[in-house]
Structure 1
């Protein structure tokens, strides 16, 4: 049952528990995003064309992978609820079916990624860019299953309050990937120079390494091995897999709408030329690296809200969501200050700013970074508010709100500003930022309204002299 009031000690405890989950998850996401960040830096050392092609390939692959990862992410709120309700056998059953779902999804996705040339051609991307991008995709597709399995295990251990292990695993994978990029991409230590194909192969191998370490940890760690979900692994539960798909479909479609907006904007940038696409990828990778902070925090708030739902304490669930929203706002405000203060230094990480040949790319990228500084704040809020809704197992309405925000408002606004009003790359970024702002307002409103309705339906009412009413 839920209580009428939240006292100050409860707020302090929730902040502590949220940080204990969110800090390692955010660090892990930053480390994982560092792979794409470093890939971009290395691609820039090949050529501007390789940077444009590699950016296009990586963005398209991440769109597909992140979208279908949403289906296995349904494991997190269900395990969190079972954990809060102390249902040990149910936890094992959910994780086992989550791994089977990862297997079932991997095969069609590998076929899809292996045949993306025609898809990219439909969006009228330059043929030479597609040709350069294709080898990257042909190799990285072999990492799809372990990437999905990793996403499932991340949600699983987060729901069980063991998120601290995610960071060291991702750091190991990141170091391995960077080393592989250097060796295979540039042909070091007698290996052939594979360029973008080498980057794709190194990324695929790093997914396998991280998944193997993560799986071994969940089976050997003292507090987790009692949930050994590989016991009776051959037992498949169609009903539970369908439930995961039903809950996860809302997450998957929402992710597709969000990441799809950025992917379509990337395709639009490709219509404006290789230099614009390269500049966009520099800014996009910078934004993506910073976005990992709220993304990790969103996984944490999903787990925290889900655990409170399992305990039937809905007022504490709402408090968990509010604390996450405030925390992400403060953090993303600080990143905005950094972007505005050091834009040229950030661009210099990717390309030589003293090379006259890169001047046009620099001039295109600079105003984009200023827009991203504003966008990041609202992007963080919408992502964390969305994670709080997932903790309530509310996935279908956020899916509809995402469509309205990212596609009706964001995409149409980008097209009008970028092409109709001929503002080019700046207009495209402004349009998608408007969509992100809209999403942050709608998701926060939805979480507030839904928790109000849930709390109002509770019969228990209590108050205290030192209480703070939420």
Structure 2
């Protein structure tokens, strides 16, 4: 008996939620570490907040770029799972772990010499010294973070998302406790400042990776895939396919996070107060945006699974379920941010303290623009996830370059530096780029999925 359109929509939404809720919850939990880091940095002083925030966004930008490449595992595993091809799942997972190691090495080297780049961007000597203290430790967490991203993509592609949430929540709680103990010198530990925050983070990253390895080795169904057998064998055809799918995703992630990173560096050129205000806005948005990011991962998996079954009409519906879910959530969050801005900002700084008056004046217009822009950013992210599920990654990469950098960064620079809008202009410019990307991605998914559909519910 075939399902009616309304029944198929309800079924798709239910299956989508089984993936989206754990994946989005895991993303929120993981981002909570950065949120707590920022709060602790604020307690350590404005200079530490500015430098630590700059270092953190640099690490996140590089990690997101490298993770984007290995996340190319996700659509391939989802497609193989949908097609019922267990051997291909095994092969893709193993090559993904190889790719994690290969990606980690050059990024670690780059982070070890990041102070040279910071000087070129005109950062203050104190900011560079504090940031390098943090990053020299954090670079040792790159491999476990990338390997975890690979295994997370494999496990979620096999529709086992809930354990990921449990592991990430556990790792996050450990990280937060470590931040409190090592960063501020509580529970009998010495106060290590930014070094303590970094040590807590890399211990958490290794713990999450090893926990997920243990889960895949012990779970009855996942154990049958034998993901860790013959790891020494590099299968070049599959590795090449993974790179061809993953590199455009990684480049797209680099273009997106790179935009925010460069804007952060430009904020630093406008002064410590502007940079501190920007860090508060950015960290708030990062935490909230983890929900659409998790929704995007779930959308990629659901579209990829239907694609593996050669049912493009179902894949199209799965894509729109994910897109609409992201828009609804971010609309609610935008309203909340616009109604309660003082309460949110008060989590980071004392809004009644006279010494914070300048930061508060700078932050309010940034906060308003960022809140509204996140609605369109959710469209951009979830729609790109739907395109990835169709293994369409190269054209979205080109679109990201044109919109984020050609339009967003250029507009932001002109508004911020030439029209005197400062940090507000930078936020407005990058938001314009994201909004245009959202519209183009949505148009492409609509046209591509419609033209390729050949079956109906």
Normalising by structure 2, we get a TM-score of 0.98
Match of 1:74 in 2: 72
Q: Is the 8 A contact 1:283 1:365 kept in 2?
A: yes
- Deviation of 1:189 after TM superposition, in Å, equals 3.8
1:406 is matched with which residue? 404
CA RMSD of aligned residues (A): 1.3
Once residues 286 and 6 of structure 1 are traced to their aligned partners in structure 2, the CA distance between those partners, rounded to angstroms, is 41
Which of 291, 298, 301 aligns to 1:300? It is 298
User: Is contact 1:6–1:316 with CA below 8 Å preserved after alignment?
Assistant: no
State the match for 1:424 in structure 2.
Answer: 422
- 2:343 matched to which residue of 1? 345
The residue number in structure 2 matching 1:186 is 184
* Contact kept? 1:328, 1:380, Cα under 8 Å: yes
String of CA shifts for 1:301-350, please: whole Å, max 9, x gaps: 00000000000000000000011111111110000011001001001101
The equivalent residue for 1:149 is: 147
Paired residues of 1:117 and 1:134 also in contact (CA < 8 A): yes
The residue aligned with 1:379 is 377
1:316 matched to 2:344? no
1:276 maps to which of 274, 283, 291: 274
Q: Contact (CA 8 Å) 1:52, 1:278: kept in 2 or not?
A: yes
Specify the alignment match of 1:441 in structure 2.
439
- Residue of structure 2 equivalent to 1:51: 49
Asked if structure 2 preserves the Cα contact closer than 8 Å seen for 1:185 and 1:199, the reply is yes
Tell me the distance in 1 between the aligned counterparts of 2:264 and 2:4: 45
Q: Which has the higher contact order (CA 8 A, sep 6+)?
A: 1
Query: 1:139-288 residue pairs with structure 2 within 5 A?
Result: 139-288=137-286
* Distance in structure 1 (CA, Å) of the matches to 2:68 and 2:323: 21
Separation in 1, partners of 2:368, 2:186 = 38
Match status 1:355 vs 2:357: no
- For residues 27 and 158 of structure 1, the distance between their equivalents in structure 2, rounded to whole angstroms, comes to 13
1:213 CA displacement: 0.6
Which of residues 368, 387, 393 is equivalent to 1:395? 393
TM-score by length of 1: 0.95
State the alpha-carbon separation in 1 of the partners of residues 244 and 212 from structure 2: 26
**Whole-Å Cα distance in 2 between the matches of residues 190 and 8 of structure 1?**
59
Runs of 4+ in 1 over 6 A off after TM superposition: none
For residues 190-232 of structure 1, the C-alpha deviation after alignment (integer angstroms, 9 at most, x for no partner) is: 4332101111111111100110111111111122111121112
Find the counterpart in structure 2 of residue 25 from structure 1. Answer: 23
Kindly indicate whether the alpha-carbon contact (under 8 Å) linking 2:137 and 2:199 is maintained by their aligned counterparts in 1. Answer: yes
Tell me how far 1:70 sits from its aligned partner: 1.1
Structure 2 counterparts to residues 319-338 of structure 1, below 5 A: 319-338=317-336
Alpha-carbon contact 1:67-1:252 (below 8 Å) kept: yes
CA deviations on 1:102-124 (whole Å, 9 max, x unpaired) are: 11222221111111100111111
- CA deviations 1:76-113 (Å, max 9, x no partner) are 00000000000011111110111111112222211111
Q: Is the 8 A contact 1:67 1:256 kept in 2?
A: yes
Q: Secondary structure at the match of 2:233?
A: coil
Query: Contact 2:379/2:438 (CA < 8 Å) preserved in 1?
Result: yes
Unaligned runs of 5+ in 1: none
SS at match of 2:224: helix
Shift of 1:170: 0.8
Is the Cα contact below 8 Å between 2:66 and 2:104 reproduced in 1?
A: no
Match among 100, 114, 117 for residue 116 of structure 1: 114
Deviations 1:125-179 (A, max 9, x none): 1121111111100111110000001111111111111111111111111111111
Contact 2:101-2:143 at 8 Å conserved across structures: yes
Question: Structure 2: where are the runs of 5+ without partners?
Answer: none
Which range moves more in the overlay, 356-365 or 38-47?
356-365
Q: Deviations over 1:374-431 (max 9, x none)?
A: 1110011100000000000000000000011100110011011111111111111110
Deviations 1:30-49 (A, max 9, x none): 00000000000000000011
Task: Please state how far the C-alpha of 1:369 moved relative to its aligned partner.
Answer: 1.1
